[in-house]
A and B are shown apart, each in its own frame.
Chain A
């Protein structure tokens, strides 16, 4: 599946905007991303969120990634 990256996250995947990762859940996605791009570790330590079809998930590793869905990796954000 195509995974879009934004902001400073791109620097961890050789500057790519989109990477191809085979995954059925957010957990698998992050795990395989880290295997392929070890530089993602810094970002994962500070927090990653995953947008699936526009909805942002911060703490749902078991969330399914439906085939054909739009997936974005975003920095984990903080509110006030």
Chain B
């Protein structure tokens, strides 16, 4: 059955209410099972041997002594894995296990599975690796220099003409924009040009990567894993290891945070390979040190931003040269930064050039609206400087130049209905903007953009004989989607929320669902749930018609019951869902609804943030005094979770803006791979984060839903940057704005 995805302005009874989360009791009582909480009889412990060098050739790798150690059941190196040379998955496999070279500090070179942790640790010590150290580079600007050490010898720059003949660390150049930049700058009364840097950060999910893998000699396998996308893990792991997809059952555990970092595989294929070799279940759990060194943080960046404007505030041109490091493997992060940089604005002349650059750091993974926060830091800081230069209120300047329906986006297409204008107007009118500031305090604001995605989705609804309902989902619940989907299911069926039990299925129980990324969970699963519920309703109408012995066309579904319509049916009392379910065995068997959909048309998303800070001029320390998030949600299914997403993004952005930073030594090794030295914000660092939800319906979703999970991390770096700059009286251009950087900037300004 084909369903219409269009927005219908349906009136709701349950959607939009604040309900208890179905996973709440499990999570606060410790009953919830995370990645490391599974166990199997006879399981082995997996440990990894990792490179101590930033860049080196593996001259010799001898595992023979480890293999002979009592209690060791399997040792894996790249030689034990399928050869994917020239294959699409080579990079993925090579990141999981180095081949002839280690490309970053922490790159895995071998793994062992042993009967216990102590034995596995002893085995690692018995593996002998002979390295030939190679020159390394960890800074993005250094890596772009012509004499920089080459991270990969087989990477040639894409996106340039003519096609290069020499390898380069610049793996891709991506140019976006339209109009005539030079003409635009010539029209400007004021031109501001500034360079910015942001340091590498980690998503900082509290739960490390963990899995329990089991593969038998018959080729059947199971993987219990913390992931944002167990179907994707199945696809990738089976391809890497040459397994039949249908014979690998992947079950997603509860997830202790992902934020993009659990969209890629890291230890999981190796755990499966160890299990296959040992013919025993294998449990692998990363240490925090490994998470920092060998999972997928976001990029460090460097960028040059130039904006020209007339005295009346019209921005005449904007350009950005954005350099993002992708770690040691090709990525698209610079390209994404270039696409998002000016997306908030209606510009006649705009150009952004993104450079994706390889360095000797871990493979970069997505981090919540990947690439957008850093580009927004550069652009939104420069917009504030323009406002100051022409003496205009920074919010008014943004409102004057905000993109709107019909604007040609800086990345190409023309926008439909969008919410940047309303978020800015809400910011302008928010009481926060009128609150008085004290000495050493400053206020900043910024706006942000993110694309949002949909994708392949599949849901089942099964009505039990007692009228309760199982809702089976395949999109991993990362941010509370089981509550939202239960609300939607109950809304459609016309039953109470607590009559629905939502479950996340394993990969053998439901068709493919894309990974929970791109803020797609509520948008996509919501669509599939609506349509599956409507199919179940059609089935229940059939059963009611059969019971009444009337044509189904004379049955309608209203408020959780079938009603016979028409005068001749006046004598037929309604049949509730519970009554129909109770008679199912006699009317055709189980009642179910199912839907599979490619949920495209997710609609872009915008947010505006306001931030007050206090900077201590003696220490350079910054305290966030007040913070407000305003964002378009399309339709907030469960406002508690929407607000939670807004607050979570802001909290992570605050950590990124003020403290978090990968620090590499001259030897190319990570110096602060732990939460003591890499400090994420804790409750005492944060004020209550105020939120305002705007609901500008997405025309491509029956309920008008837009994704909300990512956009909230886009403005914070810039909003805090603007606030700190206003408080300290000096423009901050380097994130994180840690106390030493702020103090240095204050001192340099004083000397100048």
Q: Chain A residues with Cβ under 8 A from B413's Cβ?
A: 4, 51, 53-54, 56, 70, 72, 74
| Per-position binary interface string of chain B over residues 173-197, scored 1 when its CB falls under 8 Å from any chain A CB and 0 otherwise | 1111000000000000000000000
Is B332 positioned at the interface, with any CB of A under 8 Å from its CB?
A: yes
Q: Does B600 contact A8, Cβ atoms closer than 8 Å?
A: no
Bound CA span A63–B5, Å? 13
Q: Which stretch from B93-101, B446-454, B546-554, B577-585 is at the chain A interface?
A: B446-454
| Residue of chain A at shortest CB distance from B262 | A80
| Residue of chain A at shortest CB distance from B158 | A8
Bound CA span A53–B336, Å? 20
Q: Does A54 contact B175, Cβ atoms closer than 8 Å?
A: no
Chain A: interface size category: 20 to 34
Instruction: Known contacts A6-B412, A54-B413, A63-B600; decide if A80 and B159 are in contact (CB<8 Å).
Output: no
Is A20 positioned at the interface, with any CB of B under 8 Å from its CB?
A: no
| Per-position binary interface string of chain B over residues 352-384, scored 1 when its CB falls under 8 Å from any chain A CB and 0 otherwise | 001000000000011111100000000000000
Instruction: Known contacts A11-B158, A74-B412, A80-B517; decide if A56 and B451 are in contact (CB<8 Å).
Output: yes
Q: Chain B residues with Cβ under 8 A from A6's Cβ?
A: 175-176, 339, 411-412
Within A42-80, which residues are at the interface with B (CB < 8 Å)?
Answer: 42, 45, 51, 53-60, 63, 70, 72, 74-75, 77-80
| Residue of chain A at shortest CB distance from B177 | A6
A41 to chain B, nearest CB (A): 12
Q: Does B338 contact A7, Cβ atoms closer than 8 Å?
A: yes
Bound CA span A59–B454, Å? 9
A72 to chain B, nearest CB (A): 4
Q: Chain A residues with Cβ under 8 A from B175's Cβ?
A: 6-8, 10
Is A15 positioned at the interface, with any CB of B under 8 Å from its CB?
A: yes
| Residue of chain B at shortest CB distance from A15 | B161
B164 to chain A, nearest CB (A): 11
Is B259 positioned at the interface, with any CB of A under 8 Å from its CB?
A: yes
Question: Looking at the complex, which one of B88, B414, B453 makes contact with A58 (CB distance below 8 Å)?
Answer: B453
Instruction: Known contacts A6-B411, A8-B174, A45-B88; decide if A53 and B159 are in contact (CB<8 Å).
Output: no
Bound CA span A51–B454, Å? 14
Q: Does B366 contact A78, Cβ atoms closer than 8 Å?
A: yes
Is B725 positioned at the interface, with any CB of A under 8 Å from its CB?
A: no
Instruction: Known contacts A8-B159, A59-B455; decide if A54 and B366 are in contact (CB<8 Å).
Output: no
A53 to chain B, nearest CB (A): 7
Q: Chain A residues with Cβ under 8 A from B517's Cβ?
A: 78-80
Q: Chain A residues with Cβ under 8 A from B414's Cβ?
A: 53-54, 70
Is B198 positioned at the interface, with any CB of A under 8 Å from its CB?
A: no
Q: Chain A residues with Cβ under 8 A from B603's Cβ?
A: 55
Is B519 positioned at the interface, with any CB of A under 8 Å from its CB?
A: yes
Is B251 positioned at the interface, with any CB of A under 8 Å from its CB?
A: no
Instruction: Known contacts A6-B411, A11-B161, A79-B710; decide if A55 and B601 are in contact (CB<8 Å).
Output: yes
Instruction: Known contacts A15-B161, A53-B416, A72-B413; decide if A7 and B598 are in contact (CB<8 Å).
Output: no
Is B316 positioned at the interface, with any CB of A under 8 Å from its CB?
A: no
Q: Does A8 contact B173, Cβ atoms closer than 8 Å?
A: yes
| Residue of chain B at shortest CB distance from A76 | B332
Q: Chain B residues with Cβ under 8 A from A54's Cβ?
A: 409, 413-416
A12 to chain B, nearest CB (A): 9
Q: Does B412 contact A51, Cβ atoms closer than 8 Å?
A: yes
Q: Does A55 contact B367, Cβ atoms closer than 8 Å?
A: no
Is B335 positioned at the interface, with any CB of A under 8 Å from its CB?
A: yes
Q: Chain A residues with Cβ under 8 A from B700's Cβ?
A: 55
Is B172 positioned at the interface, with any CB of A under 8 Å from its CB?
A: yes
Question: Looking at the complex, which one of A7, A15, A55, A63 makes contact with B335 (CB distance below 8 Å)?
Answer: A7
Q: Does A79 contact B159, Cβ atoms closer than 8 Å?
A: no
Q: Chain A residues with Cβ under 8 A from B455's Cβ?
A: 58-59
Is B518 positioned at the interface, with any CB of A under 8 Å from its CB?
A: yes
Q: Does B336 contact A77, Cβ atoms closer than 8 Å?
A: yes
Is B634 positioned at the interface, with any CB of A under 8 Å from its CB?
A: no
A-B contact pairs, 12 of them (CB 8 A): A11-B158, A45-B88, A59-B600, A60-B598, A63-B600, A72-B413, A77-B451, A79-B451, A79-B518, A79-B710, A80-B367, A80-B369
Besides A77-B451, A79-B369, A79-B451, 7 other A-B contacts (C-beta < 8 A): A11-B159, A54-B416, A58-B455, A72-B413, A77-B332, A79-B453, A80-B260
Which residues in A have some Cβ–Cβ distance to B below 8 Å?
Answer: 4, 6-8, 10-11, 15, 42, 45, 51, 53-60, 63, 70, 72, 74-75, 77-80
Closest 5 CB pairs of A and B: A80-B260, A79-B518, A8-B159, A80-B366, A7-B174
